[in-house]
Structure 1
Amino acid sequence: MNLRSIYRLFLPYASAVSSIIVFSVLVSLINAATPFINRFMIDQGLLRGDLKAVLYSVLLLLFLRTGDNAIQYFQRKQEILVANSFGKDLKVKALRHGLKLNPQHWKDNGFFKTIGDVLYDIDILMSITGSNFLMLFLIICKAAGAAIGLFLLNWRLALLTLPLIAIKIAYNQWMRTRSEQLGKASMEANKNYNAWFSDLLSGTTDIKLWNLHGRKETEYGEHIDHLNETSKHMSLFSEKSSRILQTVEFSFLNLMYLPGAALIQDGTITFGGLMTFITFSSYLLVPVDAIMHLRVILEQIRPCTKDIQNFFALEEENFASSLLPNPEISKIEFKDVSVFLDHRSILQDLNFEIRRGEKVAIVGENGSGKTTLLNLLLGLCRATSGEILIDGIPIQEYNIEAYRKKISAVLQDVHLFGGSVRENILLDEEALFDPNRQPPFCTEAVNRLEKQFDTQVGSDGAKLSGGEKQKVALLRALNRRAEILILDEASANYDKESEEAFHLFIREHTDYGFYFIVTHRKEILAYADKVICLSHGKITQVRQNPK
């Protein structure tokens, strides 16, 4: 990533950047005039004892400095606004892309790690705004104004600063390579931490059951130590480099008193001119410092920018397609469908056809592939070979958002979002909720809660029992007017009375065109039109029940 590509990122904020440029020009004019006022104050005021000249000079300098500070304040305000908007827009874009990714990316790395890594990379990228990247133009203009004034004061002394500029450039070239190495080390440490933390979040129950608190505390401390160590190396390297350059600069500028004294003796420069030149000569080095510092930052963020680009290049699900499913789906087909995961066969050569109006029960031992079959239908995983056809068209060709609107599902692991029961039921914003139209065994369970449908469910439904969570999930599914209803062990946590009511619901409910029911309850099989038996990823039987 170079300066041009960085500036391209800020094109949406052109008006704010334009105001920064205008401010920069004004500051350059102020800084071009300042050295001459200082020379006048010393030569005509202090050395001659002219208090009036000193007073006028001080007032003029005060006016210019006040204007300079006011301009830089408003410029900094614009920079902060741009930085905040830039960070928000990029992070929202990253989250939007992450949520639309092919689910396989989540399975490989976990959603928290996938998103956590790119958000960390964006935070590093945003360091260019925190490091006054947008003020670079202002700094250069400010230095240019001062440089013009100094060259007019004495061009010979101005030329003597060129060796120092060359030294600083050479030193910064070396700093770039070391900064990139430190940036990579910091990035790897953060990615390792994100992977570990994602694993921790998914295993909190096992940590309690196996008394792993001490081990995880130790691991956490080790990760924090590693993060702190990489951060320390980067900070100390930057600090050491800065101190070395400041020492070189201080020594070099003070040595300029020697040729300055000679120039005073031959009348080429006045005492006030020399003092002013020494005072303002560091302005000649400001753009070099700014550009070199920015190049160091760019080297530190280079690995992050590559990762961000790779992240945004990851394949999304098909949200761009204009192909929509028919208002009423008539047929669902699995043709020679196989799924392999890490060279392991999960499903093999599935072939079956479901027509509108059929209720399908899917049975088999644990690990037989039942949930994977449903995930294929939901578009949450892809077949390694074969096709899943909806009205003769492969599901991957449909707009995935429109296709999923045709499906209501209660999955084996129910997730409830923080909020009320009602808010969890009304996830589909297009649907209105009428409790009187829903199964009584579900609504009665909710009505027994302290605040009924306004009851807060807690984190992931922690304030509800397993059966209550499943009933809320069923209400949520039934509230969407869809074509396909998928129930994956949807009654696993029901009591006997609720289970019997659920069986009656399966028998009598006909609002959907297709029903897919994964179950271990043999009683439900009698209410299915078709029973698909799975064993070790293969269909062993497709049984048609009489109507």
Structure 2
Amino acid sequence: TQSLQAHDFVWSQVTFFVLTGLMAFAVPMLSSVSLETVAMTTTATLFLIGPVSSIVGSLPVFAQANAAAERILALEESLQNLSSPPDEMSLEGRFSRFKAIQLNEVQFSHKSAGGEVGFEVGPISLNIERGSTVFITGGNGSGKTSFLYLLLSLYPTAHGTISVDGIPIGTTNIHAYRNLFSTIFSDNHLFEELYGVENHDPDEAKHLFELLEIDHKVALEGRRFSSLKLSTGQKKRVAMIAAILEKRPVCVFDEWAADQDPYFREKFYKVILPYLKEAGITVIAITHDDKYFDVADVRMHMADGKLTFVDAEPSASRKIA
């Protein structure tokens, strides 16, 4: 495309100079037009060529914008026309009142460019009970985030099954399953608008801004945040507010406290997590803060892609492989 544009640009310049030369030298020889008229016409043409070139050059840009807008509108229309299977809605309603999420011998393998098997996570068998606070610890590269992607069904399982109250998660109910989770990853993106939340309680939002001590920096105006010119730690606090307002039964935090100062790190463990637990929200958090491990109901350690319980004997329903 760039080659074609460069080729067309060169030819347009050649054509312009040829026509200007014909106007300046050929017209006086072939007609009785005075040199003064030719000079004035040529000068006017030279002044006009810039604006005309800008207008002509902008036409492809407008064409690309129109094509992109048409594709976006077509995508929105196709999404609106999608209809969920009848059992999808009923399962989503049932999942919202789930009692436990079960992982049975779940495993995932990263593939290298040559198709060779790379780092593996699992096999993992685990029962996450509703309302519990689960901490996952482990060194860098141990597979903690990969495990979260596997749990959230963002990575496909190579082996094993994920189920909710005994209902296996498959293609017909995977969206209902994913809608159980509000997530804040370590490299999360914070949107200016509060997507996925049609209605929220302004009083609750105000209380959350005060709880996270960010009300002096940003506020929720309708469904949009007034400003996102914040530090990384402050953006994580706003992301926490958005996650809570989504009203989903499970919150997943990937090293949320790592970007906070010591004061807010302690507040996360001693105030925010108990606040979520009291609200009946299940919390799954990756953390390295051993000072606050006592806050968790269950603590698990990841090493070389294997998950094991720590400081507790796993029960039959919490078996880890």
TM-score (norm 1): 0.39
Kindly indicate whether residue 284 of structure 2 is the aligned counterpart of residue 516 of structure 1.
yes
Letter in structure 2 aligned against 1:330? K
Per-residue CA deviation, residues 7-29 of structure 1 (Å, 9 max, x unaligned), is xxxxxxxxxxxxxxxxxxxxxxx
State the distance in 1 between where 2:67 and 2:210 align: 50
Gaps of 5+ in 2: 1-64, 112-116, 315-321
State the distance in 2 between where 1:526 and 1:394 align: 32
Q: Which residue of 1 aligns with 2:128?
A: 354
Instruction: Among all aligned residue pairs of Structure 1 and Structure 2, give the percentage whose two residues are the same amino acid.
Output: 27
Kindly indicate whether residue 242 of structure 2 is the aligned counterpart of residue 476 of structure 1.
yes
Letter in structure 2 aligned against 1:494? Q
Q: Which residue of 1 aligns with 2:54?
A: none
The offset of 1:411, in angstroms, is: 1.6
Gaps of 5+ in 1: 1-83, 100-315
Per-residue CA deviation, residues 88-113 of structure 1 (Å, 9 max, x unaligned), is 5555445787x9xxxxxxxxxxxxxx
- CA separation of 1:385 and 1:521: change in aligned 2, threshold 3 A: same
State the distance in 1 between where 2:86 and 2:303 align: 36
Letter in structure 1 aligned against 2:87? S
Q: Which residue of 2 aligns with 1:395?
A: 169
- CA separation of 1:339 and 1:414: change in aligned 2, threshold 3 A: same
State the distance in 1 between where 2:86 and 2:122 align: 29
Cα RMSD, aligned residues only? 3.3
Per-residue CA deviation, residues 227-254 of structure 1 (Å, 9 max, x unaligned), is xxxxxxxxxxxxxxxxxxxxxxxxxxxx
- Residue 506 (structure 1) aligned to one of 273, 284, 290: 273
- CA separation of 1:360 and 1:376: change in aligned 2, threshold 3 A: same
Kindly indicate whether residue 205 of structure 2 is the aligned counterpart of residue 435 of structure 1.
yes
Per-residue CA deviation, residues 295-342 of structure 1 (Å, 9 max, x unaligned), is xxxxxxxxxxxxxxxxxxxxx9x9657332423111111111111111
- Residue 534 (structure 1) aligned to one of 294, 302, 307: 302
State the distance in 2 between where 1:412 and 1:469 align: 11
Q: Which residue of 2 aligns with 1:340?
A: 109
Q: Which residue of 1 aligns with 2:47?
A: none
- CA separation of 1:351 and 1:400: change in aligned 2, threshold 3 A: closer
The offset of 1:347, in angstroms, is: 0.3
Letter in structure 1 aligned against 2:208? Q
State the distance in 2 between where 1:545 and 1:525 align: 16
Please say if residues 250 and 281 of structure 2, whose CA atoms lie closer than 8 Å, have aligned partners that are also in contact: yes
- CA separation of 1:488 and 1:87: change in aligned 2, threshold 3 A: closer
Per-residue CA deviation, residues 372-430 of structure 1 (Å, 9 max, x unaligned), is 1211222211111111111112222553443333222222112122x3xxx34x64224
Letter in structure 2 aligned against 1:331? A
Please say if residues 503 and 524 of structure 1, whose CA atoms lie closer than 8 Å, have aligned partners that are also in contact: yes
Please say if residues 359 and 515 of structure 1, whose CA atoms lie closer than 8 Å, have aligned partners that are also in contact: yes
The DSSP-based 3-state class of the residue aligned with 2:266 is helix
- CA separation of 1:441 and 1:347: change in aligned 2, threshold 3 A: same
- CA separation of 1:370 and 1:341: change in aligned 2, threshold 3 A: same
- Residue 155 (structure 2) aligned to one of 381, 390, 393: 381
- CA separation of 1:470 and 1:87: change in aligned 2, threshold 3 A: closer
1:46-445 equivalences under 5 Å are: 90-94=71-75, 320=85, 322-323=87-88, 324-325=91-92, 326=94, 327-342=96-111, 343-417=117-191, 419=192, 423-424=193-194, 427-433=196-202, 434-438=204-208, 440-442=210-212, 444-445=213-214
State the distance in 2 between where 1:95 and 1:544 align: 49
Q: Which residue of 2 aligns with 1:487?
A: 253
State the distance in 2 between where 1:338 and 1:472 align: 33
Please say if residues 484 and 512 of structure 1, whose CA atoms lie closer than 8 Å, have aligned partners that are also in contact: no
Please say if residues 534 and 541 of structure 1, whose CA atoms lie closer than 8 Å, have aligned partners that are also in contact: no
Please say if residues 136 and 299 of structure 2, whose CA atoms lie closer than 8 Å, have aligned partners that are also in contact: yes
- CA separation of 1:85 and 1:499: change in aligned 2, threshold 3 A: closer
The DSSP-based 3-state class of the residue aligned with 2:121 is strand
The offset of 1:501, in angstroms, is: 1.1
Per-residue CA deviation, residues 164-202 of structure 1 (Å, 9 max, x unaligned), is xxxxxxxxxxxxxxxxxxxxxxxxxxxxxxxxxxxxxxx
Which structure has more relative contact order (CA 8 Å, sep 6+)? It is: 2
The DSSP-based 3-state class of the residue aligned with 1:491 is helix
Please say if residues 85 and 172 of structure 2, whose CA atoms lie closer than 8 Å, have aligned partners that are also in contact: no
The offset of 1:487, in angstroms, is: 1.2
Please say if residues 487 and 516 of structure 1, whose CA atoms lie closer than 8 Å, have aligned partners that are also in contact: yes
Q: Which residue of 2 aligns with 1:174?
A: none
Larger of the two Rg values belongs to structure:
1
State the distance in 1 between where 2:133 and 2:248 align: 15
Which one has the bigger strand percentage? Answer: 2
Letter in structure 2 aligned against 1:386? G
Please say if residues 506 and 524 of structure 1, whose CA atoms lie closer than 8 Å, have aligned partners that are also in contact: no
Bigger CA drift: 393-402 or 359-368? 393-402
- CA separation of 1:439 and 1:526: change in aligned 2, threshold 3 A: farther
The offset of 1:350, in angstroms, is: 0.8
The offset of 1:349, in angstroms, is: 0.8
The DSSP-based 3-state class of the residue aligned with 1:486 is strand
- CA separation of 1:334 and 1:453: change in aligned 2, threshold 3 A: same
Which one has the bigger helix percentage? Answer: 1
